[in-house]
Structure 1
């Protein structure tokens, strides 16, 4: 039997405090820990929780190989979040500076989903139940 395992993706961003504020406002994330600022004034890590899921944001540090999507020329990972109101979440993200990559619409595979690029270059699939208008 596998011991209890917890996976926490860490999103590399230029400004962890700005990213933390975005994820709190746009996704309803709760900040549960913020490391003190380092020599450059940025925290090394800020932990968040959304429901039972958790994730972290950390600053880009080129010598460590911690590169943001902007440093890489795009995101290498898709983050998928299932929410009750995908349209509302997408609208909040865009209002906070994100960009629609694929519009949130009812999809033939039985979900309402779309893709949003956050202001830090990370790609999010926002998904939920089909719209029953």
Structure 2
């Protein structure tokens, strides 16, 4: 069965404003939409990188939205393919990300590594071999 659909991951974080700023600084994400809640914090911030989009929202227990920090980690890997994985990895670590697996040439023909952003989400940063 074919149908039109669009899938947009939503990253649940403790600090949506901080996460939004982080993703804008390190991934050149463009903020395209923000919905403020009653308390002034955003309930959702929509970002775009090229044709790809993702959202950031706060952890809200009453909604069942828990962050990786609440759960002791994240079982989900976000993978982004970029022209220069080393530069993106360096920007991420300069802004508080932790290297989990160093960015290196891999035997499967990619240059990639894994980082945990300051909000607990895991990212595979990948690109062409050098």
Normalising by structure 1, we get a TM-score of: 0.95
> Which structure dedicates a bigger proportion of its chain to strand?
2
Which whole-Å CA distance do the structure 1 matches of 2:40 and 2:92 have between them?
Answer: 26
Tell me, yes or no, if structure 1 residue 19 matches structure 2 residue 19. Answer: yes
Q: Deviations over 1:25-64 (max 9, x none)?
A: 000100000112x233311000000111100000000121
Give structure 2 stretches of 5+ with no counterpart. Answer: none
Note the aligned Cα RMSD (angstroms). Answer: 0.9
Give structure 1 stretches of 5+ with no counterpart. Answer: none
Q: Is the partner of 1:22 in helix, strand or coil?
A: helix
Which whole-Å CA distance do the structure 1 matches of 2:33 and 2:53 have between them?
Answer: 11
Mapping of residues 48-59 of structure 1, within 5 Å: 48-59=47-58
Structure 2 residue aligned with 1:81:
80
Tell me, yes or no, if structure 1 residue 94 matches structure 2 residue 58. Answer: no
Which whole-Å CA distance do the structure 2 matches of 1:24 and 1:4 have between them?
Answer: 29
Q: Is the partner of 1:35 in helix, strand or coil?
A: strand
Mapping of residues 34-53 of structure 1, within 5 Å: 34-36=34-36, 38-53=37-52
Spell out structure 1 runs of 4+ moving beyond 4 A: none
CA-CA distance at 1:3 after TM superposition: 2.4
Normalising by structure 2, we get a TM-score of: 0.97
